[in-house]
A and B are shown apart, each in its own frame.
Chain A
Amino acid sequence: MKKKSKAKELVQKLTVLIALVILFAIFAIIVPDKFLRISNQMNILKQVSINCLIASGMLVCLITAGIDLSVGSNSVLAACLIGVLVQKFGITNPVVLALAGIGISTLAGFINGTLLTRLDLPHPFVSTLGMKNVLLGIALVITGSKTIGFTNKGVDSLMWFGKYTIGNFDGRGAGFPVSFLLVLIVFALFHIFLTRTALGRQIYCVGGNPEASRLSGIPSKRVLTFVYSLSGFMCGLAGVLLVGRLASANANAGISYDTDAIAACIIGGASFTGGKGTIWGTMIGALLMGVIRNGLNLMSASNDIQYIIIGLVIILAVAIDVLRNKMEAQARKSAAV
C-alpha cells in the first residue's frame, strides 16, 4: 500500500475503531456494572463469532463487487442438516457431522458461483437471492419445520466449538470463548490469503476491473466460483458453531444474518463497488454491531428498538461508503488529467 492511501486507510480504520471505543464508553457509562463485567465482554465475543465467520465470506464476495444474500439460509441449513443427521440417523461422530454441514454449505456456495458465471448474470444479487429461498426451503423440508435440540444427544464434543470457553477469568467461569478463538485463527488465515497469495490478490484485481483481469490472463470466472464457494464454506463453519451456540437447529434462526454480515463488511471499509476491504476491518465492523446489540440488550431495549438502531447504523455506514467513493473519484479525476 502506498503512503497516502495507507494513511487514509489508517484513518478510515481508526474512524471505525474510534466509533467502537466511543460506543464502548457510552455503554460503560449507562450500564457500567453489567456492561464492563468480564463475563459480559466474553459474551460479546461469543455473540459476534458467527457474524464474523459469515462476514469473512461475505467480504470476499464484496471485494469482487458481488454479494451473497444466501449466507443466512446457508449457515442455518448446515446446522439443520447436522440436526437431522443426529435425530433421524443417530450419527454422533463430530467429524462426520461437521464435514456434512460444511460440505452442504460449500456445495451451495459452489452452486451460487456456478449460476453467476455460467449464466453470465450481470450481478449475483438475483442468483443468491434465489438460493437464499431455496436453501431456507430445504432446511424447512428436512427438519419438518421443527426445531431440533442438541442437548443430551451425545454430540457435546461438536457443541464445544460454539458453546465452551477456555480459562476462568473472574472465578465464576467467564473464560475465552472457543468460537472466537476459531475466528481469530480463521481471520489470520484470511489475512495471509488475501494479502500474500496470488489467488487472494487476483480476487481484488477481478473486483477492481474484471475485463482488465481477464485480458491479463486471470481466469475471472474460476476466481468468482471460488469466491462463492469460500463464502459457502464459511457459512458451513458458522453452522457448526450454531449447533453449540443455540443448542438447537431451527430453520428460521438466520433471518438477520445476511444483513448483519453485509453491515459488518461495509462498516469495516468494504465497498459495494468492489476492489476494497480488509479482514481486520470486517472484524471491527462485526464487533461494533455486537457491542450495539449487547449494550441495547443490557439497557433492556426491546427487540423493535434494536432493529431500528441497527438499521440506522447500516444506513449510516452505506452513506459513509458513498461519500468515500465520491471523494476518491474526485481525487482520481484530478489526478487523471
Chain B
Amino acid sequence: MSEYVVELRNITKRFPGVVALKNMSIGILPGEIHGLIGENGAGKSTLIKVLTGVHKPEEGDIFVEGKKVAFHNPVQSREAGIACVYQELNIVKQLSVTDNIFMGRTIGKGVLLDYDRMHRQAAEALESLGHPEIDVRMEAGKLGVGQQQMVEIAKAISIDAKLIIMDEPTSSLGKDEIEQLMEAIKRLKSKGVAILFVSHKLDEIFEICDRCTVMRDGEHILTKDTSELTEDDLINAMVGRTLDNLYPKEFGAKGDVWLEVRSLNIAGVLRDVSFKAHAGQITGFAGLVGAGRTETMRAIFGADRLDGGEIYIKGEKVDFKSPKHAIKNRIAFLTEDRKGQGLILSEDVRTNLVLASMKEFSRGPFLNKMRIEETGRDNVTSLRIKTPSLSEVTAQLSGGNQQKVVIGKWVNTDADIFIFDEPTRGIDVGAKIEVYRIMNELVGAGKCVIMVSSELPEILAMSDRVVVMRGGKVMATIDRDSEHFNSESIMKAAWGGRLE
C-alpha cells in the first residue's frame, strides 16, 4: 500500500491541440511540505485543477490514503480532504470571517445557525495557525491580504484537510506577512497536514520544503529531497530542453536607439524600469508571469497611467495620454490577450485589419472601401492569413490566423516601433514560424521590434538583446554576444539570482 496521503499516478490530461499533463506522477507524504516548480506553462495549474476536481484526467489514477478515487467535481475533492488556497483569494469581503470559513457548510441548531459554535471553531482554527488576534466577527474585507489568506487556510483546516495546496501563496504578501505564512505552514506540518507549495521563488522552496518536484512540458522531471538539490539543479531541470530550427532568425542592421525608457514607476507594479531598444533589432523581454513586462509595455503605449519616468521616441521625450496618441507617434502594440484586447471577434477580417488606422482609410467621414479591400487582400497574401474571405468573422479563424490579423492591423498603421506581447502564445508551430518570419521582415525593414515572451527558447533564438524582469524591476540586460546569453543565466535572473 502506498505511504502517500495523496498520489497522482500516470496522469494524462489533454486539451484540444495540447497535452497539458503527460504521464505525470507525484506523491505527497503525510505532514510533508512538498514544493512544486516549473516554468510558465509547465502544467502546474492543470495539475492543481486535477487534484481539486476541476479537470478530469483522460488517463491515470488518483489515490487518497491509498484508496483509488475519482473526482467529478470540486466538492468531491474537498470531501476527500484536499483544499486549495488560490493565488486569487476566494474571500467574500462583505461577510464576516466566520461566514467565510463556514461558507457552504454552516453548522445549524434547528432551523437557525449556531453562530456560537461557528465563531468558536473559527477562532480555534485561526489560533492553531498562530493568529488568535483575528476577530472572527469582523468583515473579512477589512483584514489585510495576509490575514485574509490566513482565513482561507483556516477554512481548509476546518474541513480537516489532509492536503492543502498553496498556489503562489506569497506573491501578494509583504516580507512580514511571508514570515507569518511560513510560521503557519510549519504549524500545519507539525499537525500532520501535508502541503503542496507551488512557487516561483526558489529561496522559499529551499527555506520551507522537505522535498521538491520539477515539472516541464506537462511531464515529471524530478522529485528529490531539497537538501540534496542546488538552485542550479532546479533551474537546469526546469529549462533543460534543446533548441532546434523552429526559429528562422535573421539579423537586421542595428540602427539608432528608437525607444528609450528611463525609471518608469507605477506604485506597486513597476520600479525604476529603464532600457533602450534599437532600430533593426529585436529586443526580447524575459521573465516570469507577473514580472511587470506587460505593465511596462502598456505604460509605454499610453494604455495605463504612469506614476513617474520618462519615455523617449527617437530621442524626443513623449508623454502618451492614450493609445490613440501612441499610434499617431507610430507605435504598435500587439497585446498578449488576443481575444480580449486584440480582436473584435464579432467583426470581419476586413474591419479588424483597418481597426487601428480607420482615419487613413477614410475620405472625410466615409470609409474608402476600395482601398480597404485592396489592403485587405495584400495583407492576406503577404501575411498568409488563411481565411475564406475578408468578410469572415474573426471568431471563426484559428488562433494563428487570428494572430496574423492582429499583426496585419498593426502593420497597416505603418508603425516604426512594434511591441509584440507573447506573439506566439496559443498558436501552432507552423503559425509560430510565420510570426517569426514577419518579425524578421520588420527588422529587415529597419523597424524596432520588442518581443515579450515567456518562452525562453523563443527569446534566445529571436532576440538581439534580452531584458530580464522580475517583480517590476529590470534584473539584467544581456546582449546576444554576452557570455550570459543562455537559458541558465536568464532563468537565474528571472528567478531573482544575480549574474556576475
Contacts and interface: CB of A to CB of B under 8 A. Distances in A.
Given A3-B389, A275-B347, A276-B346, A217 B365 contact: no
B393 interface: yes
A148 B328 CA distance: 54
Contacts of A219: 322, 324
Nearest to B359: A198
Contact of B367 (A198, A208, A211, A212): A198
B392 A212 contact: no
Give the interface size class of chain B.
35 or more
Contact of A212 (B16, B343, B359, B396): B343
Interface in B298-317: 301, 303
Contacts of B409: 216
B351 interface: yes
B388 A214 contact: no
A209 interface: yes
Given A216-B355, A218-B324, A2 B341 contact: no
A196 B328 CA distance: 23
Interface string A211-225: 111111111000000
Chain A contact surface mostly: helix
A102 B487 CA distance: 67
Interface string A88-132: 000000000000000000000000000000000000000000000
Contacts of A2: 348, 388-389, 391-393, 396
Contact of A3 (B367, B369, B391): B391
Nearest to A2: B391
A198 B365 contact: yes
A331 B333 CA distance: 29
Contacts of B399: 336
B341 A212 contact: yes
A205 interface: yes
Contacts of B95: none
A271 to B, nearest CB: 9
B333 A215 contact: yes
B202 interface: no
B327 interface: yes
Contact of A213 (B348, B355, B392, B395): B355
B12 to A, nearest CB: 19
B351 to A, nearest CB: 6
Given A3-B388, A215-B303, A218-B324, A201 B351 contact: yes
A336 to B, nearest CB: 7
B347 A1 contact: no
B172 interface: no
B344 interface: yes
A215 B348 contact: no
Give the interface size class of chain A.
20 to 34
A208 B346 contact: yes
Contacts of A215: 301, 303, 323, 333, 335, 341-342
Contacts of A214: 303, 322-323
B239 interface: no
A5 B392 CA distance: 8
Interface string B335-361: 100011111111110010001101101
Given A201-B351, A201-B358, A216-B356, A332 B389 contact: no
Contacts of B323: 214-217
Interface string A247-284: 00000000000000000000000000001100000000
Interface in A293-337: 331-332, 335-337
A289 B458 CA distance: 59
A335 B348 CA distance: 15
A196 B344 contact: no
Nearest to A332: B395
A201 B352 CA distance: 11
Given A205-B344, A219-B322, A196 B356 contact: no
Contacts of A198: 358-359, 361-362, 365-367
Nearest to A195: B367
Interface in B381-406: 388-389, 391-393, 395-397, 399
Given A217-B324, A219-B324, A337 B17 contact: yes
29 contacts: A2-B389, A2-B393, A3-B388, A5-B391, A196-B367, A197-B367, A198-B359, A201-B351, A201-B358, A201-B367, A204-B346, A205-B355, A208-B344, A208-B345, A209-B344, A209-B346, A211-B340, A214-B322, A215-B303, A215-B342, A216-B323, A217-B323, A217-B356, A219-B322, A219-B324, A332-B345, A332-B395, A335-B395, A337-B16
Task: Across the A-B interface, give the 7 residue pairs with the lowest CB-CB distance, nearest first.
Answer: A2-B391, A208-B344, A217-B324, A337-B16, A217-B327, A216-B356, A275-B346
